[in-house]
Structure 1
Amino acid sequence: MRQAVRCADVALGRRRHSSAGLQSALRQAEKRRRVWLRQQTAQAITLGRQGRWEESLALLQSDSFQLDVKLVTAVCGALQRAIAWQQALLLLAYDDFRRDERLLGVVCAGCAKGWAWQQALDLLDAQKALLDRSPRFSLESHNALLSAWDHCQLWPLALRLLGDMKRSEAAEPAPDVVSFSSVISALARAAQWPQALGLLHEMKPSHTEPNVMSLGAAVSACDKGHMWQMAYALLDQMPEHCNLVAINAALSAGGRGNRWELALGLFQLMSRRSLQPDLVSYTSAVTCCNRSREWVKALQLLKLCPGTNLVLATAALKACQLGALWQQALDRFQEMQHTMQPDIAAFNPCFGALVSARRWLLALQLLELLPGLNLQPDGGTKRLMLQALAQSKRWQGSLQLMSNF
């Protein structure tokens, strides 16, 4: 009997030792698995930041049986940066992954960045169904969706979602400066300047401080609405947020209002803020001066411009036409032919300068270049041609030339 008990004790001890050894082995295996997952996740994040999303995606294909939601989220983050939202959606085929709100938020943001806003909206609804315990990721999804609606020019949808967010309901995160800026930008694209300015003034009472994005979008809204006075007023109210984008939008608005003095004042503002004007700045300012017939100011600005493009070169020719500087207009047009392909909008000011200066021979010679430049005369060209024909002594030859067009 004692021997039987002793044998039973030995057997039980062996089982206990075997069970302890098995548990220890399982713990070691789980530890190795966690270390591997951390390494894979860190590698996926690094690859994503480097723009190597294909290599990041390949990490999941190496050991698919060990897929982990953190690793998948890191890979989806890489796909989000690459706007490869289709591949990210495929990773949500597993039910377990669709229950992770952080992963849903990352994929939702990726869809929104790819302008696949309907898929993003579906994911946002799925995220809300989880009773969203991570406001930070939910806010990222909402902002990405607002940005998508901005680019898709669906401002009513953006305005409605922002309204839901401002009601501070549990299902929606509170809007931040990115939320407001995206909706203001969407309203600016649609020239809905009253609502854009209304949102800008709502930000401070909502404990959201406007920034350069908000101001730039609001000024652009004023530009689209031909409200140049309001654009300049915004720059005065928030001078600390003035950047080149906002000032360029104000310059464009000033051009619509023919306010060349204010346009030059904005150049002085850029100088005080150590901002370097770009081609957009010079083009808007020169166009504004031309519309005000201040061609001297326009040419002075052109001397300061470090580069040129077709629009700016055309504005320069227009200034020469206004100033009856036919020789300078002709020189600029000839130089233009060597550096870029002129269009009919660039041809007309040069042709008009020659016609106004009664340089009939040069005007008709220039007219003969149209077929070689692959240009077709428009209404402005034909009016100038008729004026040249009416005043030129070579009217018979000019009529023959006219018939060619």
Structure 2
Amino acid sequence: MLEVLGNSVAVPVKFFGQHHSYSPNSHEYRSHYRCLHCCAYLSSEIKPNRRCARIYGLNVVSMSEEGHTWLGVAQSRMSQMDLLFRSTGTDNSRIVQYEVASVEFESVSDEENTLIQKEKGEFNIDPMEQKLPPWGDLGIQQDSDFKTGGANQPSRFSRGSVTVNENRIHFLEERNEEVLSKRILRLSRLNKVRSALELYRSMEYSGLQPNLHACNSLLSCLLRNKILDDALMIFEFMKASENASGHTYSLILKAIANARGCDAAVNMFEELEGKSNIKKDFDAVVYNTMISICGKVNNWVQTERVWRSMKDNDHIGTTITYRLLVCIFVRCGQNELALDAYHEMVQNGLKPGDDAMQAIIGACAKEGKWDLGLTVFQNMLNSELKPNLIACNALINSLGKAGKFKLAFRVYGLMKSLGHCPDAYTWNALLGALYRANRHADALQFFESIKKEQSSQLNLHLYNTSLMSCQRLGLWDRALQLLWQMEDSGLPVSTASYNLVIGACEVARKPKVALQVYEHMIHQKCTPDTFTLLSLIKGCIWGSLWDEVEDMLNQVAPDPSLYNAAIQGMCLRGKIDSAKKLYVKMRKSGLKPDGKTRAMMLQSLPKDSVRHRKRWSSHTREALNSVKCYHHD
């Protein structure tokens, strides 16, 4: 007897055979040989348990969504027809529910058995082979449950991406494309990958086209789960059916960049861009995506190419476009390109954002365009935007390099009013601004104020700037104090710092103090360089310490710059004989004098008498002759 739970509805199912019908009220079973379909009575209130409805030779899956039922043919059997309704068990989603019923037949006549045997031979032909879907044979599996993706579900990897097993196709009772598209959209948003993909492929097999929104949502779902191969397959279908948008291309390009790198995405972009029927689907979003992909790997060359291509194809950039361009170019050190992008943005009537304006201030500082940087800074304040500390420091440094120390300190005051705390870079920029403006006394005074308020932020650069001011002013004693403070604070004192102190002693005509600093420098195991020795030689010459000059020249390796300085200093101080002797020694060492040294030696020749010239040795005459030769040359 046939048992039906609840209210039953008749669902016609076509197959290769006879027409079987059953009436639940009269309990009669009838067969009509001229008809090739059957009716199964399903209940809308059957509980989701695992029961079987047996009909000869057909597996049918009934899926109900909000009162709508659609049937999917899975496969045929050779022995008897089974109407099998399978349940997934634990899925409580309202999107898909599986209903089951139990149907039994009491008896079948001999004539019916004959027809059934004949029917079996006809049913062996797989109807799926008559019309394969566009993606090929999906390998319909026998007696496989309809399941969603899970942890134990097998998957395959291709080119570093995951793809689900080939899904089954279902014959859809619902034929409304909008309704089915909404189902794909909801399944994709719920991350039901397998269900959404099977429904999409079933629509494609049935000749139905999901709308663009549903396809993009499915693409996002697949890419979210790193199923790149299936996403690319759907992408190709969308392109072939001209059902792709800029958002579609953006999704695929980002996925390719994440899975295979920036170069692969650039190659795909160039290939797509070369097709005229696809180029019209490109919009600013696609170009922004490619600019962002190239910017992540600091590929500014490809970034510029995409930007130029965007303009060549008559696409107008958005605020995001120019923000990306400015930030990428500044980060890659291409400040001119960043400024070009900023000017184009302003010309197009777009308002730059906070990060783009701060990046432009940094670019202006590096390019020395302090006026543009100051204008951008003022525009930020007028727009109630708050420049960060880095932008403020960059602008102060740019103004200081241009000698605009008053503007630099004005920006410093605005920076403090914005709540920023000055750091070491701020102090370096302000102190350097005073030094470049030849405000050396103010620089030393400002250094003292920094030392009182922010002694922990004192660094080697601040000390060296102060030492340079001492050298310009000839404050040798103050320079010595700063040197001792540096050593006491534990800062690594460099050769440049000792050179500045020796230079201050040179300006103040304190050669003995300079020699003491030099000896202390050697004691601290700090190697002197050419500038150290030049400063010492000049100081000793003006202090008439001739023996010290000769000892210094004898202790170091022969250097033409040192000999030139010593000879020129001796000539200026009237020590012509000592200069000539040193010149002869220089020539013996194979060193070549510069033009000023040769000129000074030539000027000293007429002052000597013929008697003195005859007393000179042959080496002296050869040296003087060489001076004449150089002079004629």
Name the TM tier (shorter chain).
0.7 to 0.9
Comparing 366-375 with 11-20, which one deviates more in the overlay? 11-20
Matching residue of 1:227: 439
**Hey, what's the Cα distance between the residues in 1 that align with 2:531 and 2:256?**
51
User: Superposition pairs for residues 14-33 of structure 1, below 5 Å?
Assistant: 14-15=171-172, 23-24=196-197, 30-33=220-223
**Hey, what's the Cα distance between the residues in 1 that align with 2:582 and 2:434?**
41
**Hey, what's the Cα distance between the residues in 1 that align with 2:287 and 2:259?**
14
> What is the TM-score with the length of structure 2 in the denominator?
0.50
Matching residue of 1:324: 544
Comparing 391-400 with 244-253, which one deviates more in the overlay? 391-400
Matching residue of 1:49: none
Q: CA deviation at 1:286?
A: 1.7
Matching residue of 2:394: 182
Partners of 2:474 and 2:504 within 8 A in 1:
yes
Q: Aligned with 1:174: secondary structure? A: coil
AA in 2 matched with 1:23 = A
Q: 1:205 aligns with which of 394, 401, 417?
A: 417
**Hey, what's the Cα distance between the residues in 1 that align with 2:364 and 2:479?**
32
Q: 2:408 aligns with which of 176, 182, 196?
A: 196
Matching residue of 1:60: 265
Matching residue of 2:306: 91
Larger RCO (CA under 8 A, 6+ residues apart): 1
AA in 2 matched with 1:33 = L
**Hey, what's the Cα distance between the residues in 1 that align with 2:256 and 2:515?**
60
Larger proportion of strand: 2
Q: Aligned with 2:297: secondary structure? A: helix
**Hey, what's the Cα distance between the residues in 2 that align with 1:256 and 1:122?**
41
Matching residue of 1:311: 531
Q: Aligned with 1:238: secondary structure? A: helix
**Hey, what's the Cα distance between the residues in 2 that align with 1:22 and 1:297?**
89
| 1:78 to 2:290 alignment | no
Matching residue of 2:342: 124
- How many residues matched? 375
**Cα distance per residue 1:66-111 (max 9 Å; x no partner):** 98966752541432xxxx633321233458994462x643431343
Q: CA deviation at 1:216?
A: 0.8
Structure 1 residues 86 and 309, CA, compared in 2 at 3 Å: closer, same or farther?
farther
Name stretches of at least 5 consecutive residues in structure 1 with no aligned partner. Answer: 45-55
Partners of 1:228 and 1:257 within 8 A in 2:
yes
Q: Aligned with 1:373: secondary structure? A: coil
Q: 1:247 aligns with which of 463, 468, 479?
A: 463
Matching residue of 1:289: 505
Q: CA deviation at 1:297?
A: 2.5
User: Superposition pairs for residues 130-169 of structure 1, below 5 Å?
Assistant: 131=351, 138-139=354-355, 141-167=356-382, 169=383
Larger proportion of helix: 1
Q: CA deviation at 1:291?
A: 0.7
Name stretches of at least 5 consecutive residues in structure 2 with no aligned partner. Answer: 1-8, 15-36, 40-61, 63-68, 72-170, 185-193, 199-214, 229-252, 273-285, 615-620
Matching residue of 2:325: 107
> What is the TM-score with the length of structure 1 in the denominator?
0.74
Partners of 1:329 and 1:353 within 8 A in 2:
no
Partners of 2:444 and 2:466 within 8 A in 1:
yes
Comparing 16-25 with 204-213, which one deviates more in the overlay? 16-25
Q: CA deviation at 1:183?
A: 1.8
Structure 1 residues 336 and 155, CA, compared in 2 at 3 Å: closer, same or farther?
farther
Q: CA deviation at 1:16?
A: 6.1
Structure 1 residues 130 and 233, CA, compared in 2 at 3 Å: closer, same or farther?
same
**Cα distance per residue 1:112-165 (max 9 Å; x no partner):** 466654431342356675655xx5xx43x3343323322322222222222222
Q: CA deviation at 1:282?
A: 2.2
Structure 1 residues 77 and 272, CA, compared in 2 at 3 Å: closer, same or farther?
farther
AA in 2 matched with 1:274 = G
AA in 1 matched with 2:442 = M
Partners of 1:295 and 1:320 within 8 A in 2:
yes
User: Superposition pairs for residues 383-402 of structure 1, below 5 Å?
Assistant: 386=603, 390=607, 394=612
State which structure, 1 or 2, has the greater radius of gyration over its C-alpha atoms.
Answer: 2
**Hey, what's the Cα distance between the residues in 2 that align with 1:107 and 1:308?**
47
AA in 2 matched with 1:264 = L
Structure 1 residues 74 and 298, CA, compared in 2 at 3 Å: closer, same or farther?
farther
Q: Aligned with 1:180: secondary structure? A: helix
Q: CA deviation at 1:300?
A: 2.5
Partners of 1:226 and 1:257 within 8 A in 2:
no
User: Superposition pairs for residues 375-390 of structure 1, below 5 Å?
Assistant: 375-378=593-596, 382=599, 386=603, 390=607
Partners of 2:339 and 2:363 within 8 A in 1:
no
User: Superposition pairs for residues 305-384 of structure 1, below 5 Å?
Assistant: 306-333=526-553, 336-338=556-558, 342-343=560-561, 346-352=562-568, 362-368=578-584, 369=586, 372-378=590-596, 382=599
Partners of 1:232 and 1:250 within 8 A in 2:
yes
Structure 1 residues 3 and 223, CA, compared in 2 at 3 Å: closer, same or farther?
closer
Q: 2:478 aligns with which of 245, 255, 262?
A: 262
